[in-house]
Amino acid sequence: MDSYDFFHEDEPSTGRKTKNTQGASTMLENFLSMGKKAILIAIAGFALFITAMSSFYTVGGSEYAVERTPGGDLVGIIEPGIHLKVPFVSTVHFYDQFQTISYIDEGGDSKGTMKRISFADTYMGYIGGTIRFQLSANPDLLVDMHKAYLNESNLLTSGLKPVAKQLLTYTANQITGENYMQGGQNEYQIRVEDQGNNGLYITKRVKVKVKKNASNVGLKDQNPKDRAQRDSYVYVTKRQVDATGEFLRQALPTTQYGMKVVQVTIDDFQPEKKLKDFINRKKDQIAKRQGLIEEQENERQSAITAELKGTRERVQAKQEQLKLKDSAVISAQKKVELEQKEADLQVVRKQKELDIAKANEGIQKANAVAAKYQANAIKAKGLAEADVKKAMYAAVRKDILQLETDKSIAIAKYKALESGKVQIKMPTTIMNSGNGSGGSVQELTNLHILDKLK
């Protein structure tokens, strides 16, 4: 089958034309039916995707959000993360938690976006820097702020920029350009932050009498610190206080919605030519006056030094005389003191010897008493032991004691003979004197001999 058969009906046919035309029509219908379904599915999927994407929103860690619910209520969102909402009905407005208003110098002679400020002494200048605001973390105050400004762009243009401008200009009216140029920038910066958080000071321009030094340079002996003063009047901007002594303040729109000034930075200040010339002239005058005062002080100090030098020389001469005189006195006093110390030392030594003798005497007495008691104790002990022995001897029978003694001696003799340590030899010759004592030969037997050896 080729394409030619589908579109040429005048070709001789054998039944092919009707069959081919019907098949092509069926395929086209099927293709169109499948295409419509795919399109409908794609449209449904896209609508579902859009619906799903519209059903939530994400709040970053450094931003807040205000959601308008289907009922028209406003809800402040301060928690970061994913939050659900009704698709296509609820609307959400986002706000950065920190908002910065900048005034910068674009270079050249142009002041760019630097802010023009006027001081209390009518001098002016251009100031550049940043004021950083922090939105309130209270959901109710966040909603009130949104009702007032509707979106973040309006908040910047209609809310924060006018407040920042008012802070810079209003604070400048409270100090003088002279003070600002001579180190008052820190005070200015602190006042801007304080009033941004607590409200503007209510001030009043008043005339104040001050004391100024009068010129008396021609007075030779005049101390610059004691120069005469004269009254002078100046106008100052004075902060008003209530009955309790607290400063009166005027609230700002930002404080009404809980916003805080968290940082004030002064990057640059360009004074007008009059202020710059005034400060330069004052610097020159101060330097010149300081030079004169220093020169006068040097002369005064030189005179004082010369006077002190003469006084010192006189004092030194007198001191030398006194030194010679005092030397002899000191020497004599020293000798007396040494002799006195030696005498005192001898007294101490004798006293020590006396104390030692007394101590030895006490020791000897104690030893004597102890010896006496010891002798008595020995005597008593000996008497007691003698009494004991006496009693023991009195209790023993003499005949029994003699027998016991004889027994012990005999046993010792026999043991000595048995051990071989003692040998007894019988005499070979016996001489009997015959003195009539009754002795006989029988008495010389072994036992009798042993008995004789006792």
DSSP result, 185-202: HHHHHHHHHHHHHH-EEP
DSSP 114: P
Place of tokens 């002041």: 111
CA dist 288 and 280 (Å) reads 12
pLDDT value, residue 421? 66
Backbone angles phi, psi at 354, to 5 degrees: -60, -45
Pairing of strands 249-250, 200-201: antiparallel
Cβ–Cβ under 8 Å, residues 193 and 264: yes
Task: Please give the chain's pLDDT, 454 residues, in tens.
Answer: 444 343 344 444 444 444 555 666 676 666 666 777 777 777 766 666 566 556 668 888 889 998 888 877 888 888 888 876 667 667 888 999 999 999 886 554 445 588 999 998 889 999 999 999 999 999 999 999 999 999 999 999 999 999 999 999 999 999 988 889 988 899 999 999 999 999 999 988 887 777 766 555 444 445 555 556 677 777 778 889 999 989 999 999 898 899 999 999 998 899 999 998 988 888 888 788 788 888 888 888 888 888 888 888 888 888 888 888 778 788 878 888 888 888 888 888 888 888 888 888 888 888 888 888 888 888 888 888 888 888 877 777 777 778 888 888 888 877 777 776 666 666 666 665 555 555 555 555 555 555 555 5
CA dist 100 and 199 (Å) reads 19
Nearest alpha carbon to residue 260 among 141, 156, 139, 132: 132
Question: Which residues are bridge partners to 132 per DSSP?
Answer: 100, 263
Cβ–Cβ under 8 Å, residues 366 and 373: no
CA dist 39 and 282 (Å) reads 85
DSSP 183: I
Reading the block at residue 136, the tokens are 């309130």
Q: Is 450 helix (H, G, I), strand (E, B) or coil?
A: helix
**C-alpha R_g of the chain:** 67
Distances (CA, A) of 331 to 221, 324, 326, 338: 49, 11, 8, 10
Pairing of strands 63-68, 74-77: antiparallel
Other Cβ atoms within 10 Å of 272 Cβ, number = 15
CA dist 404 and 412 (Å) reads 12
**What is the edge-to-edge ordering of all strands in the sheet holding 91-96?**
74-77, 63-68, 91-96
CA dist 382 and 184 (Å) reads 113
CA dist 417 and 406 (Å) reads 17
pLDDT value, residue 117? 92
Cβ–Cβ under 8 Å, residues 136 and 95: no
Helix (H) or strand (E) holding 233: strand 229-239
DSSP 444: G
Nearest alpha carbon to residue 57 among 80, 82, 91, 75: 82
pLDDT value, residue 227? 57
